[in-house]
Structure 1
Amino acid sequence: MARTRFVGDAGLTARMTLVMFLLGGLFVALVVVLAAAAGQGIGILVAVAGIGFAVYQWSSSDKIAMRAMRAREVTPQEAPELHGMIDRLCTLADMPKPRVGIADTSVPNAFATGRSPDRAVVCVTTGILGLLTTQELEGVLAHELSHVAHRDVLVMTVASSSGIAAGMLTQGAQYGGLGFFGGGRRDNNNGLPVWLVVLLVSLVVYAVSFVLLRLLSRYRELSADRAGAYLTLKPAALASALQKISGGMQRVPERDLRQVSAGSALCISPISLKGLASTHPPLEKRLEQLARIQGELDRPTA
């Protein structure tokens, strides 16, 4: 985690390290199996392509997210109150101020992205600006700034490399019968066709990567709630904001939700995907944590 005044989270650091180690191992295993089944050249090609795509996502994460959410950067003159809130929170957290963006959509949400604290952007929607009070919005912004301080985008992008490569292989192996990965040719031991071996291995790697990334993503959202609540010392305001956002999205037309669903994983509240596929923990779990923090802060000191 970056050295700021956000409360530390050893659990998040440990989980990030473990998931990156496991997914890195999966990525290496995928490349080794592919090289053995389809040839060293194919293995190297997939390794370079997977890493290259991950680097592109990391270096362009702010632009990709802003496009996905149809957002634009705004100046202090265009959004003085929003800039003022972020100025105060960045001073309180002792961190560089990110760029500020607004997405013109009725979907009430916010997100932060960028490859480093110096190249980050925090974005809110017009829907959330019209829904929350000043204290609630500050709670949301503190949550997003904690993602920047934790360098979440870097970690999640690096961790996603194996899943990206496996997804590419899954798509490519489906054309095995057309000549890719040796077509219907079998290996030297008269075993499975090469394309089928590639398909099975890539599906397993993709499934494991999917689950691990979802588990890490849910924990980091809880960590951001916790860090934001301790920074502002107003966990009840963030809890109220989360409830309003959840209720507000239920009233948004499905068409508007689909327009910004591509950036759902980055947002403070999920736009789509529930249950195992969700990138966020259940709202009830987030509210319980914030209630515990509020009780801790309200407890009189000796």
Structure 2
Amino acid sequence: MAHSRFLKDRGLTARMTLVMFLLGALFVALVVTLMYTFQNIAFFIGIAGIGIAFYQWWSSDKVAMRAMRAREVTPEEAPELHGMIDRLCALADMPKPRVGIADSDIPNAFATGRSPNRSVVCVTTGILQRLDAEELEGVLAHELSHVAHRDVLVMTVASSAGIIAAMLTRSAQFGGLGLGRRNNNNGFPAYLVALAISLVVYAISFFLTRLLSRYRELCADRSGAFLTQKPGALASALQKISGQMAAIPTRDLRAASAMNAFFIAPAVKGVDFKTLTSTHPSLEQRLEQLARIAAELGRPMD
């Protein structure tokens, strides 16, 4: 397996499995409810939602690269970056992804793609300017862990219920598919039922997906730190990235916020109800985990 050399955490794996089970149960409950409540449209909404999720997964690398205005670079154009990824892929026993650079002052990196053989790891010029070699290696190991563990596929599957619920909400709000026609005696109750179901499912899916995303980030931190055996370097990189994000103009951060779930650190943080809406764990939580790994490995954090 491509990810056989990334060390696993059974506790994190168990929590992620539980969240995936809950999201799967939510998806099944939504589909069954649609079948019983809106027999004439349930099939079409389900197929359309799955189709959108499939497209997002299939084209995730192209969409992410376009969103960041990134370009793929060759070993001749970026020899040090390619050399670092070559070494890490050899350590992890995984296929080498394509390598990209985005011309952005935002210090960040992301990995995406539908499989380890169809993936891309991209860094910004901002992160290349701010991190030293060991820190950058820690960041790249984190991103390669996402690739090896097929996190794009995991998060796409996890978001399916939310996608269908969002579609149902729009159909109900705008009277699509016969749900909201007020001149039909049966239309208005159907509109209310559709709106209530979709809003509840979307809300639950939203928070569960964010929770799963935070677990995936902790897993990637852990896997990357054990791969490089230098948790202190990743901790230093995270502190630099988070600390220097404040120096980036707000408009630039907002423009990149759609990529939050892919980044190693969020460009824009969610509304803070103890990070419930965040795609990433808090910096403190990530540093605490890395400190435990450093102690386990008998290595200093600085």
TM bracket (short chain): over 0.9
Please say if residues 162 and 206 of structure 2, whose CA atoms lie closer than 8 Å, have aligned partners that are also in contact: yes
Counterparts of 1:78-157 in structure 2, within 5 Å, are: 78-157=77-156
Contact in 2 for aligned 1:122/1:144 (Cα 8 Å): yes
Tell me by how many angstroms 1:2 deviates: 4.6
Check conservation: 1:214, 1:279, Cα contact below 8 A.
yes
The answer for the alignment partner of 1:183 in structure 2 is 181
Whether contact under 8 Å (1:37, 1:187) holds in the other structure is no
Alignment check: 8 A CA contact 1:162 1:205 kept: yes
C-alpha contact (below 8 Å) 1:70/1:260 kept by paired residues: no
Partner residue of 2:226 out of 226, 230, 235? 230
Give 1:219 deviation, angstroms.
1.0
In the alignment, is the contact (CA less than 8 A) between 2:172 and 2:180 conserved in 1?
A: no
Residues 69, 262 of structure 1: 8 Å contact kept = no
CA contact (8 A) 1:166 1:202 kept: yes
Secondary structure at the counterpart of residue 266 of structure 2: coil
Partner of 2:261: 265
Pair 225,31 (structure 1): closer, same or farther in 2 beyond 3 Å? same
* Residues 179 and 61 of structure 1: CA distance in aligned 2, closer, same or farther (over 3 Å): closer
Equivalent in the alignment of 2:49: 50
SS in 1 for 2:179: helix
Whichever residue aligns with residue 261 of structure 1, its letter is: S
Q: Name stretches of at least 5 consecutive residues in structure 2 with no aligned partner.
A: none
Q: Distance in 1 between matches of 2:227 and 2:51?
A: 36
- Following the alignment from structure 1 to structure 2, what is the Cα–Cα distance between the partners of residues 10 and 133? 32
Give distance in 2, aligned partners of 1:194 and 1:150: 41
SS at match of 2:99: strand
User: Which residue of the partner structure matches residue 239 of structure 1?
Assistant: 235
Note if contact 1:236-1:290 (Cα within 8 Å) is conserved in structure 2: yes
Q: Contact 2:6/2:227 (CA < 8 Å) preserved in 1?
A: yes
Residues 16 and 285 of structure 1: is their aligned pair in 2 closer, same or farther, counting only changes over 3 Å? closer
Deviations 1:279-300 (A, max 9, x none): 0010011111111111221279
Is the CA contact (8 Å cut-off) linking 1:31 and 1:46 kept in structure 2?
A: no
Note the C-alpha offset of 1:247: 1.1
Pairwise CA RMSD: 1.9
Query: Would the alpha carbon gap of residues 281 and 299 (structure 1) be closer, same or farther in structure 2, given more than 3 Å must change?
Result: closer
- Could you give the per-residue CA deviations for residues 170-220 of structure 1, whole angstroms, max 9, x where no partner exists? 1221123x88315234559xxx71011000000000001011111111111
What code does the residue aligned with 1:253 have?
P
Q: Is the 8 A contact 1:102 1:123 kept in 2?
A: yes
Q: Report the alpha carbon displacement of residue 15 of structure 1 after superposing the two structures with TM.
A: 3.4
Aligned residue identity for 1:115:
R
Q: Deviations over 1:112-149 (max 9, x none)?
A: 11111111110000000000000000000000001111
User: SS of the counterpart of 1:199?
Assistant: helix
Q: Could you tell me the percent identity over the aligned residues?
A: 71
Of 6-15 and 75-84, more deviation after overlay is shown by: 6-15
Q: Which one of the candidate residues 251, 254, 257 is aligned to 1:255?
A: 251
Aligned residues: 295
Q: Distance in 2 between matches of 1:295 and 1:251?
A: 32
Q: Which residue of 1 aligns with 2:292?
A: 292
Determine if contact 2:210/2:279 at 8 Å carries over to the other structure: yes
Indicate the SS of the match to 2:169: helix
- Residues 97/299 of structure 1: CA separation in 2 closer, same or farther (3 Å cut): closer
Question: Structure 2 length as normaliser, TM-score?
Answer: 0.92
2:180 and 2:217 map into 1 onto residues whose CA distance is 43
Deviation at 1:13, TM superposition (A): 3.4
Q: What does residue 19 of structure 1 align with?
A: 19
Structure 1 segments unaligned to the other structure (5+ residues): none
Letter in structure 1 aligned against 2:19: V
Distance, in Å, in 2 between the alignment partners of 1:12 and 1:289 is: 12
Relative to the length of structure 1, the TM-score reads 0.92
